[in-house]
C-alpha cells in the first residue's frame, strides 16, 4: 500500500495521511478498526484467515475470535453502504474486493503547501519576542489540523527571520506555495498581531488581518486565524471547513508566556534546562489549570528528568496521569496525543503508545515531529520499514529539521538492516554523545568497519569512562520484542569486541 488514495465506494482511504474520508471530510473511526481496514486494503483480492488478521491486529497478544468479529462489525458500520467490499468467506476468513481502478495517485502532497514564518516583535518589552514566536507556532499547528493544506514544520520555517530573505526565496527553499508573515506590537496593555499571507508567485498578498490580543481575545485569534487562512486557500468555506482550533490553548497571557519559556527550555541543551522547563510549565498550569498543552509538556518534562525508561515507576505513573488529564481537557490536539504516547512508550505500553500517536496523526497529518515520534514507536514495536517511511515523510515536511530527527531515523535504519544509510545519518549529528557514538559504532561494525567501530567506542569511553552500552541500550531505543533486543545487543557486543581488539 502506498501513499495513494484508495477508493471504497463513497469513501476514500488516505493511508499517507492516516485518514478515512467521506465527501472530503474525515470519518470518525477507531484505531483498531482503521488498522483492520488498512490491512485488508493492503491485501486486496486475497482471502485473509482469522489467525492472520488477529496476529496483524494484536501482535504478541492472545485474543478470541470475538474481538476480531467486533472490529469487523465496527468497520462495516463505519463504511455503511460501502461495506459490501469487505466480504466474509465462509470457514476461511475475510476478503477486501477493491474497485477498479483502486488507487488514485496523490503525488505526496495534500493541498497547497504553506509556511508560517516567525512573527516579528516590534517592541522591546520583555517576553514579546517569545510571545510572537509562540503565536506563530500555534498558527502552524492550527493550520495543520484541517488536513486540507500541507504545512511546513515550525523548525524549518523558523530558520528565516522576518523581512531578511525575500518571500519568493523563502518559498523556493521550503517548497511552499504560500508564506504567512506576522508582526506583534504593544498598544498599552493590549498586544496587536497583524498577519498577512503572500503567494509564492510574484509575492502578492492574498490575505491579511489584525487581532487585538487582550486576555479574553487571544483564544479567538488562535481559533479564527487558521480558519481564515484555510478558507482563503480552499475557496469553499461552508462546504469544506467544519473544524476549529483545538481548545488546548489559554486566554491567560502570563500562563502562555510560562508555557513558551518551558517548551523553549525543553528544546535546548545544557545543565538545568529541563528543570527550568518543568518550573515554567508548572507555573503555567498553576495560572490556568485548564491549559491542556501545559499539562502535556509538564508530563514530558517529569519523564525526561526522571530518566525516560529508567524513571521510577511512580514518576512514570504521575506523568501518565497528567498526560491523560491533558487529553481529557483537549481531545482534539495532536500534541497532547504525542506527549501521552511518548509517556506510554517509556512506560512499556507499546501498543497504547502507537494508538495514541496514530490518533494524533489523524488530527494533524502535517505534524512532522509527530511523524518522527510515531516512526520511532513503530520501529520499537518491530516495524522499522514503516518507521523509516513515516520519518521520511516527516523530513519532507520539515527539511531543515532539528538534530533529533537524525537520531530517530538512524535507529530505524539500524533496525531495518540498512546500516550504510544509518551510518551516514549518524554522521550528520552536530554534537557528540556516548549514545550517538555507540549507534555509530554499531553501524560501522555491521558495515565491516571494525576499526571505525573501535575508534567510535574509544571516544565514547573517553567522554564517560563509566558508560555501559549494553546496560544502557534502552536509552537508545526501548524495543518491545525480545528478538529485537537480542539483535540490537548483538550489534553492540560486536562493536565492543572490535574495541577490545578482537
Provide CB contacts within 8 A for 184, sequence distance 6+: 119, 120, 121, 122, 123, 128, 131, 132, 135, 191, 192, 193
Output the DSSP codes for 7-52. Answer: EETTEEEETTTTEEEETTEEPP--HHHHHHHHHHHHTTTS-EEHHH
pTM given for the model:
0.62
Per domain, the residue ranges of the chain are 5-104, 113-240, 247-360, 365-502
What is the reported pLDDT for 271?
86
Q: In which element (H, E) is residue 197 found?
A: strand 190-199
Q: Give CATH for domain 247-360.
A: 1.25.40.10
The residues of the chain scoring below 70 in pLDDT are 1-5, 15-18, 23-24, 81-83, 98-111, 146-148, 202, 214-224, 231-232, 234-248, 502
Count of Cβ atoms closer than 10 Å to residue 455 Cβ = 17
Query: In the structure grid, which three cell numbers stand for residue 250, read together?
Result: 489559554
339-391 per-position pLDDT tens digit? 999 999 999 999 889 988 988 888 888 888 999 999 999 999 999 999 999 99
What is the reported pLDDT for 174?
84
**What is the CATH architecture of 5-104?**
Orthogonal Bundle (1.10)
What is the reported pLDDT for 52?
84
Is the fold of 113-240 the same as that of 365-502?
no
Q: Give CATH for domain 113-240.
A: 3.40.50.10070
Q: Can you name the CATH fold of 365-502?
A: 1.25.40
Q: Please give the Cα distance from 465 to 446 (Å, whole number).
A: 24
Amino acid at each position: 500500500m502506498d501513499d495513494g488514495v484508495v477508493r471504497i465506494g463513497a469513501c476514500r482511504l488516505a493511508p499517507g495521511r492516516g485518514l478515512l474520508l467521506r465527501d472530503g471530510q474525515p470519518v470518525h473511526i477507531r484505531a483498531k478498526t482503521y488498522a483492520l481496514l488498512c490491512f485488508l486494503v493492503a491485501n486486496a483480492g486475497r482471502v485473509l484467515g482469522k489467525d492472520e488478521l488477529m496476529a496483524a491486529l494484536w501482535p504478541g497478544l492472545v485474543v478470541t475470535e470475538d474481538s476480531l468479529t467486533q472490529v469487523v462489525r465496527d468497520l462495516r458500520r463505519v463504511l455503511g453502504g460501502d461495506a459490501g467490499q469487505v466480504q466474509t468467506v465462509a470457514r476461511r476468513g475475510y476478503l477486501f474486493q477493491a474497485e477498479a481502478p483502486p488507487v488514485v495517485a496523490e503525488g505526496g502532497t495534500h493541498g497547497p503547501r504553506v509556511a508560517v514564518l516567525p512573527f516579528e516583535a516590534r517592541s522591546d518589552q520583555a517576553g514579546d519576542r517569545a510571545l510572537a514566536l509562540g503565536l506563530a507556532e500555534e498558527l502552524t499547528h492550527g493550520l495543520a489540523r484541517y488536513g486540507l493544506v500541507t504545512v511546513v514544520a515550525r523548525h524549518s520555517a523558523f530558520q528565516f527571520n522576518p523581512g531578511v530573505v525575500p518571500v519568493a526565496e523563502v518559498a523556493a527553499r521550503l517548497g511552499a506555495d504560500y508564506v504567512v508573515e506576522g508582526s506583534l506590537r504593544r498598544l498599552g496593555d493590549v498586544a496587536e498581531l497583524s498577519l498577512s499571507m503572500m503567494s509564492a508567485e510574484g509575492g502578492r498578498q492574498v490575505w491579511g488581518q489584525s487581532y487585538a490580543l487582550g486576555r479574553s481575545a487571544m483564544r479567538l485569534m488562535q481559533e479564527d486565524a487558521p480558519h481564515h487562512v484555510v478558507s482563503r486557500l480552499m475557496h469553499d468555506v461552508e462546504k469544506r471547513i467544519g473544524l476549529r482550533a483545538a481548545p488546548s490553548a489559554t486566554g491567560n497571557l502570563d500562563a502562555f508566556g510560562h508555557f513558551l519559556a518551558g517548551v523553549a527550555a525543553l528544546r535546548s541543551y545544557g545543565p538545568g534546562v529541563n528543570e527550568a522547563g518543568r518550573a515554567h510549565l508548572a507555573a503555567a498550569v498553576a495560572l490556568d489549570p485548564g491549559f491542556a498543552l501545559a499539562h502535556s509538556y509538564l508530563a514530558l518534562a517529569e519523564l525526561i528528568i526522571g530518566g525516560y525508561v529508567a524513571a521510577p515507576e511512580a514518576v512514570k505513573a504521575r506523568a501518565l496521569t497528567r498526560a491523560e488529564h491533558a487529553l481529557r481537557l483537549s481531545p482534539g490536539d495532536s500534541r497532547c496525543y504525542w506527549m501521552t504516547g511518548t509517556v506510554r512508550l517509556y512506560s512499556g505500553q507499546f501498543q497504547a503508545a502507537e494508538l495514541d500517536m496514530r490518533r494524533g496523526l489523524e488530527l494533524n497529518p502535517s505534524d512532522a515531529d509527530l511523524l518522527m515520534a510515531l516512526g520511532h514507536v513503530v520501529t520499537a514495536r518491530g516495524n522499522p520499514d514503516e518507521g523509516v517511511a513515516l520519518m521520511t515523510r516527516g523530513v519532507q515536511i520539515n527539511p531543515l529539521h532539528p538534530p533529533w530527527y537524525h537520531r530517530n531515523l538512524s535507529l530505524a535504519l539500524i533496525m531495518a538492516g540498512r546500516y550504510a544509510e544509518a551510518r551516514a545519518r549518524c554522521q550528520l549529528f552536530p554534537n557528540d554523545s556516548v549514545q550517538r557514538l555507540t549507534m555509530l559504532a554499531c553501524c560501522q561494525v555491521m558495515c565491516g568497519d571494525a576499526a571505525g567501530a573501535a575508534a567510535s567506542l574509544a571516544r565514547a569511553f573517553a567522554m564517560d569512562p563509566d558508560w555501559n552500552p549494553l546496560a544502557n541500550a534502552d536509552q537508545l531505543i526501548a524495543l518491545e520484542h525480545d528478538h529485537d533486543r537480542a539483535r540490537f545487543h548483538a550489534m553492540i557486543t560486536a562493536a565492543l569486541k572490535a574495541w577490545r581488539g578482537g
